């Protein structure tokens, strides 16, 4: 029996592994792609959306349900998001959990999936449009 200890991955390792699989986009690129038909998928919590606002036109999907909403064969599929040929751009607050979500999407066959560098925080800092809502639904 081998007594060698295998080191565990760190969160930084997980991010690097995920991000090595695709090209990320800037907030300006995400907006330009949205105007050309890409779907923005906002995975932030209702509290975060209430605090910072919603990117106009973004589809709200909690991170925990994302794999089920995009699965075209699943009973919980969202038809607007379940096209494996679609360009999906995942947003989170600061651009970390969205990278891990993209890895799930790539594994599910969404070859054009990506996320946005810096998340919605960077979107706001870039002066891009935000909608305010007391009830993010």
Concatenating the DSSP letter of every residue in 106-129 gives HHTT-TT-EEBTTHHHHHHHTT--
Model confidence, pTM = 0.91
Domain count, the chain: 1
Is residue 137 domain-resident?
A: no
57-92 pLDDT per residue, tens: 999 999 999 999 999 999 999 999 999 999 999 999
Position 6 in a domain: no
Q: Assess contact for 10 and 60: CB atoms under 8 A.
A: no
Asked, for residue 102, whether it belongs to a domain, the answer is yes
CATH number at 60 reads: 3.40.250.10
The predicted-structure confidence for 115-135, as pLDDT tens digits, reads as follows 999 999 999 999 999 998 766
With respect to residue 7, please indicate whether it lies within any of the assigned structural domains: no
């Amino acid at each position: 029996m081998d007594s060698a200890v295998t080191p565990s991955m760190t969160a930084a390792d997980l991010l690097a592994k995920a991000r090595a699989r695709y090209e990320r986009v800037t907030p300006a690129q995400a907006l330009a792609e949205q105007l050309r038909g890409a779907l923005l998928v906002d995975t932030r919590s209702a509290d975060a959306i209430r605090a910072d606002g919603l990117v106009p036109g973004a589809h709200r999907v909690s991170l925990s349900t994302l794999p089920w909403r995009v699965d075209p064969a699943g009973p919980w599929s969202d038809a607007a998001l379940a096209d494996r040929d679609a360009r999906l751009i995942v947003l989170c607050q600061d651009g970390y959990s969205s990278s891990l979500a993209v890895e799930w999407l790539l594994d599910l066959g969404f070859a054009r999936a990506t996320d946005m560098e810096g998340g919605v925080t960077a979107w706001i800092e870039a002066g891009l449009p935000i909608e305010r809502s007391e009830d993010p639904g």
